[in-house]
Structure 1
């Protein structure tokens, strides 16, 4: 069995899910976790944040439901409403980090969201990936170079397509995968205990004759 975590680095609810994801990976260090980027802010949705009038209210709801923090630097970044969340750029960054350390993809996804939602760093800026790479013990120059390389753009497009094939309609979505069969474990928000119970039930059912 493996887990498939479909998220968007610019998704506040994905940020809220970070603590749960960290707990799961800590409890199950041998359980593979694939990270797939979704395309939340692409095409016509790639606009200045002022056009999303619900943003502050949504963040307050996320904080209340999950305990997630939204840093002062992030608040300053979006304060005038001109910042544009570009999920294609963020997905290229995820691909660059994932390429550098595939087995650490879940932790790196969390680190990337911390860079945006706490430190207020744009996920369209190559310097952000140098920062995240340095913090996580990766080759900063190699990660930044990978971010701008065409292979990361191709990986981002492949992620968006895979997210659609998996039937994901919102982020974050956590799936358990066994062969070609996937089972939903969480959508939007769930505690580590709730996911543990679902995992245990799923494992038990597979052991039944």
Structure 2
């Protein structure tokens, strides 16, 4: 069995789930975690953030429910409303980091969201991936090169297709994959204990 974490690096609820994901991964080191980008802001939804009037209200609710931080750097970045969240660029970055260290999927997903939601770094900029890679002890030059390579676009599209094939249409979604069908362990907000309860029930079912 492995865990598949379908998220979008520009999704506030995914940012709020980061702590849960890290703790689940820490409690279950026997379960590999795969991170897949969902593609929330692509096509017609790739517009200035001012067009999403609900953002600040949603962020306040996310912070209240999960304790997630929305830092001063992020507030400055979005202050004039012109910033564009481009999930295709973010998915290329996820793919580049995943290629460098697939075993660190949970930590890198959280670090990438922290870079945006706390520090206010655009996920369309190569320097953001350099920073995240350096802090994770990875080869930063290789990560930036992978982010900028033509193959990264194909990797992003492959993630979006995989999301659809898994039947996921809400982010974040944490799946257990091992049997014939993926099993949803969490969608949106969930605590570590709630995820554990689902995992225990699934293991008990598989053992019976």
- What stretches of structure 1 move > 3 A for 4+ residues in a row? none
1:166 CA drift (Å): 0.7
**Alpha-carbon distance between aligned partners in 1 of 2:75 and 2:7, rounded to the nearest angstrom:** 22
Cα distance between partner residues in 2 of 1:71 and 1:81: 16
Post-superposition CA distance 1:60-115 (Å, at most 9, x none): 01001111010000000000000000000000000000000011112111110010
1:24 corresponds to: 24
Unaligned runs of 5+ in 2: none
Measured in 1, the distance between the counterparts of 2:179 and 2:199 equals 16
Secondary structure of the 2:29 match is coil
- The residue number in structure 2 matching 1:98 is 98
Encode CA deviations 1:125-168: one digit per residue, 9 max, x unaligned: 00000000000000111101110001111110000000011111
> Structure 1 residues 152 and 179, CA, compared in 2 at 3 Å: closer, same or farther?
farther
* Structure 1 residue 28, shift from structure 2 partner: 1.0
Once residues 40 and 195 of structure 1 are traced to their aligned partners in structure 2, the CA distance between those partners, rounded to angstroms, is 24
- TM-score between the two structures when normalised by the length of structure 1: 0.98
Provide the C-alpha distance between the structure 2 equivalents of 1:77 and 1:123, rounded to a whole number of angstroms.
12
| d(CA) in 1 for partners of 2:141, 2:158 | 24
Distance 1:30 1:102 in 2: 14
Q: C-alpha offsets along residues 30-60 of structure 1, whole Å, 9 cap, x if unaligned?
A: 2111110001000000000000011000000
1:107 paired residue number: 107
Instruction: Give me the whole-angstrom Cα distance separating, in 1, the residues matched to 2:178 and 2:30.
Output: 15
Q: Gaps (5+ residues) in structure 1?
A: none
Q: Relative to 1, partners in 2 of residues 1:81 and 1:109: Cα closer, same or farther, differing over 3 Å?
A: same
- Correspondence 1:76-95 to 2 at 5 A: 76-95=76-95
Is 1:133 the counterpart of 2:115 in the alignment? no
Cα RMSD between the aligned structures?
A: 0.7
Separation of aligned partners in 1, 2:201 and 2:127: 43
Correspondence 1:2-81 to 2 at 5 A: 2-81=2-81
Q: How many residues align?
A: 208
1:36, 1:179 → 2: CA distance? Answer: 19
